[in-house]
């Protein structure tokens, strides 16, 4: 018998390319940080001075209010618009589609300017001066809410379409109405699907709120511009605004992560609602008293 063939020893190749690219990236990043840290024109003392300035903090609060309120309003509107787009009534579906087409098509800054100048079209509303009703904050809130609702309507519509039609039919087969089927089966599963894109939309909305500075909406960027308009420390104040936007986005990203875990902990519970309803219906039928048969005389 011949001698056994010696086994082949496999050796893992060392990732020299990854090491080299990592060292290069660290070197470039370190050089950039070093150059900025030693740059006297940046005036880091002013950055620290204005980081927690009362005007800056009030701008942070207004930015949060604009973003949160606009997101809540847009989600409520978007659910209605998404259901309209899915309606069997052609007229209702057409109205929903036109709404989405319009508010997604008009640039956000244009919408903000239109709302802020609404007094040109309607000097008074219900006997009240329009300029007193539509402030910079109000105009920004309306524009952000309506523009965002156009995008959210498509996200929610996609979430509704992702639910298997068989689950809707199963809900109807056990005696649920279409409204109950929507509330108990479709919407809970839709929420799981739309949370990641909704979180991304909120982060985008948080940054888009800076456009309100075009009409003096008292947001973070507006307060930053007011301060550097007086002391001419433009770059240090913009660094302050950048730092706060990064903080807000980071907090929103962490919140999105925990929401995703809360609503979809294992990523495989899409049919849980309908299974629970079907199981409960079977148990009710099994243990409910059967009707007595009428005895003929």
pLDDT-based confidence at residue 3 (cuts at 50, 70, 90): low
Task: Decide if pLDDT at 35 tops 70.
Answer: yes
Read off the pLDDT of each residue in 237-254 and give the average, rounded to a whole number: 96
- Per-residue pLDDT averaged across 22-38, rounded? 82
Residue 237 burial class via C-beta count within 10 angstroms: exposed 0-12, middle 13-18, buried 19 and up: buried
- Give the helix ranges, DSSP H, for 86-135: 90-105, 108-116, 118-121, 130-133
> Can you tell me the mean pLDDT for 122-148?
92
Q: What is the mean pLDDT of residues 129-157?
A: 94
The pLDDT value given to residue 70: 97
Length of the chain: 297
Q: State yes or no: pLDDT of 96 exceeds 50.
A: yes
> Percent of the chain beyond pLDDT 70?
85
pLDDT at 197 over 60: yes
Q: CA 95, CA 283: separation in Å to the nearest integer?
A: 43
Taking Cα atoms as reference points, which of 261, 270, 269 lies closest to residue 196? 261
pLDDT of residue 275: 53
Q: Name the more confident of 75 and 269.
A: 75
Average pLDDT over residues 99-109: 96
* Tens digit of each residue's pLDDT (9 = 90 or more) over 263-289: 764 544 444 444 554 555 544 444 444
Q: Which of 251, 226, 203 is nearest to 53 (CA)?
A: 226
- pLDDT in the model for residue 2: 57
- The full set of domains in the chain, from first to last, is 61-217 (1.10.3720.10)
The pTM score is: 0.77
pLDDT at 287: 41
Answer yes or no: is pLDDT of 59 > 90. yes
Residue 124: strand pairing partners? 129
Residue 54, both tokens:
């009362």
pLDDT at 248 over 90: yes
Place of tokens 């020299």: 16
C-alpha dist (Å) from residue 202 to 160, 208, 264: 20, 9, 19
Q: Which has the closest alpha carbon to 56: 241, 203, 183?
A: 241
pLDDT at 110: 97
- The pLDDT-based confidence of 297 (bands split at 50, 70, 90) is very low
Average pLDDT over residues 236-256: 95
Model confidence at 102, pLDDT cuts 50, 70, 90, reads very high
Please list, in sequence order, all residues whose beta carbon lies within 8 angstroms of the beta carbon of residue 181, skipping any fewer than 6 positions away. 168, 171, 172
Average pLDDT over residues 164-179: 80
Sorting pLDDT into bands at 50, 70 and 90, what band is 82? Answer: very high
> Which of 63-77, 98-112, 121-135, 239-253 has the least mean pLDDT?
121-135
pLDDT of residue 295: 44
- Token readout for 243 is 């730092």
Residue 113 has pLDDT above 90, yes or no: yes
CB 147 within 8 A of CB 108: yes
What pLDDT band is residue 145 in, cutting at 50, 70 and 90? Answer: very high
């Amino acid at each position: 018998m011949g001698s056994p063939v010696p086994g082949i020893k496999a050796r893992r190749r060392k990732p020299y390319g990854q090491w080299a690219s990592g060292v290069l990236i660290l070197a470039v990043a370190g050089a950039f940080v070093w150059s900025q840290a030693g740059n006297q024109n940046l005036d880091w003392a002013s950055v620290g001075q204005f980081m927690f300035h009362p005007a800056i903090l009030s701008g942070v609060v207004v930015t949060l209010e604009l973003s949160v309120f606009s997101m809540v309003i847009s989600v409520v509107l978007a659910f209605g618009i998404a259901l309209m787009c899915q309606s069997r009534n052609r007229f209702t579906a057409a109205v929903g589609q036109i709404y989405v087409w319009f508010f997604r098509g008009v640039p956000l800054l244009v919408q903000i300017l239109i709302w802020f100048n609404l007094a040109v079209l309607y000097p008074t509303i219900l006997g009240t001066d329009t300029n007193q009703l539509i402030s910079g904050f109000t105009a920004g809130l309306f524009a952000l809410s309506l523009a965002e609702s156009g995008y959210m309507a498509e996200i929610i519509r996609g979430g509704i379409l992702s639910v298997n039609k068989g689950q809707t039919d199963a809900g109807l087969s056990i005696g649920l109405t279409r409204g109950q089927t929507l509330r108990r089966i479709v919407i809970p599963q839709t929420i799981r699907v739309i949370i990641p894109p909704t979180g991304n939309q909120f982060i985008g909305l948080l940054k888009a709120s800076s456009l309100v500075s075009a009409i003096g909406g008292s947001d973070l960027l507006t307060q930053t511009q007011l301060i550097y308009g007086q002391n001419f420390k433009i770059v240090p104040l913009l660094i302050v605004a950048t730092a706060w936007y990064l903080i807000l986005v980071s907090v929103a990203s962490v919140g999105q992560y925990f929401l995703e875990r809360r609503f979809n902990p294992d990523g495989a519970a899409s049919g849980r609602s309908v299974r629970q309803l079907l199981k409960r219906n079977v148990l009710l039928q099994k243990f409910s008293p059967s009707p007595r048969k009428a005895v003929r005389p």
